[in-house]
Structure 1
Amino acid sequence: MKIPDSWINLKTFPDDLILTKELVYDYCNLECTQPQPEAESTEYSAYRFEINKKTICYREAKITPTKTGQFVTLWKRNISGTIEPFDFSDTIDFVIISVRKENSFGQFIFPKAILLEKGIFSTATKEGKRATRVYPPWDVTTSKQAQKTQKWQLDYFLEITKDETIDLKAKELRDKLSRLLFQI
């Protein structure tokens, strides 16, 4: 059952975020707050919002011309104006990264815990990364490091398709979203 649309000014949001809201979040009865644009990382469609009271940091990854996978930035500006990686103290429960290539589309839904574990977010003892590369299932990785990264990332990937009826995918989507969004 689809819940009523609750976002105002849909035309101001990225198409992939709107599509996901319609095909997944609404269909699975997830409560989503109005996305707020972030001043930094606008070229990656940076937004913050909540899904079922969990704070979401949203980005859209970009295909780069020479490397497999898609690139996305994950940083903040500190008090002195310098960019630095997100860290354990930031109020982010999940990072959702939308990826697309031709007719393939999906989202990585990474919990903060895995981003800390993999060194993408900073911990008290180790600096994280300001950007990362994600490898959707349709990307063929050749380097050992990319294959290793893709292997763990795919545990957090949700493929979103329009060519199958949503009813056939609903149970799978609900199960996977429940596992990803409610494991904290």
Structure 2
Amino acid sequence: MSTLPQAFITAKGLIYDLLDLSCSDPLLEKESSDYAACTFSLNNHNILFRSAKITPTKTGQFVTLWKRNNQGPIAPFDDADIFDFVVVCAQNKDYFGQFIFPKSILLQKGILTDINREGKRAFRVYPNWDKPTSKQAQKTQDWQLNHFYAFSKTASNEKMLLEIQDLLD
């Protein structure tokens, strides 16, 4: 049996179990294991799960989001793929949070492929503790924070947990 990614274990303990969400066993994706890639169902929603990585020279965290197509090369996920949310964990030594992106927002932002454009195989996320300086990164952070849930080690997470529960019910 493969070891579950630490980001998944943390998310399950901090969120899914506390909210008593029905969570299937994750199916690990071997090729993207560096990003804790797995799929599972959460309250009957199909989830693509990733953990973002801190990079040494740029603000934000980097995450891959691709599939291997039938011909062999990798390709972005598309609007026909069966999932409801992409969950991306972001963390550093002091903070932990999750982006819970509905499929529709990733289509709207060009991260998923649709009939009009090819999506992205990777992208950068900007949790609320990061302070990007470029205008493009700030613009990206603005829309991403609408889907971000930061966990506090010192304050109550009740309001945030209720928001997640509403989203996934």
Under a length normalisation based on structure 1, what TM-score does the superposition of the two structures give?
0.87
1:81 is aligned to 72
Under a length normalisation based on structure 2, what TM-score does the superposition of the two structures give?
0.94
Deviation of 1:169 (Å): 2.1
Deviation of 1:163 (Å): 3.3
Contact 1:60–1:99 (Cα < 8 Å) also in 2 = yes
1:150 is aligned to 141
Within a 5 Å distance, the mapping from 1:156-175 to structure 2 comes to 156-164=147-155, 168-174=156-162
SS across alignment from 2:164: helix
What code does the residue aligned with 1:170 have?
E
Structure 1, unaligned stretches of length 5 or more?
1-8
Contact 2:149–2:160 (Cα < 8 Å) also in 1 = no
Deviation readout 1:124-161 (Å, 9 max, x if unpaired) = 12100000000000101100000000000001001123
* Identical amino acids, percent of aligned pairs: 53
1:56 equivalent to 2:47? Answer yes
Contact 1:110–1:180 (Cα < 8 Å) also in 2 = no
Deviation readout 1:157-183 (Å, 9 max, x if unpaired) = 01123334xxx3224312x1134335x
- Pick the aligned partner of 2:114 from 117, 123, 130: 123
CA RMSD of aligned residues (A): 1.5
Within a 5 Å distance, the mapping from 1:87-106 to structure 2 comes to 87-106=78-97
Cα distance in structure 2, aligned partners of 1:65 and 1:180: 33
1:180 is aligned to 167
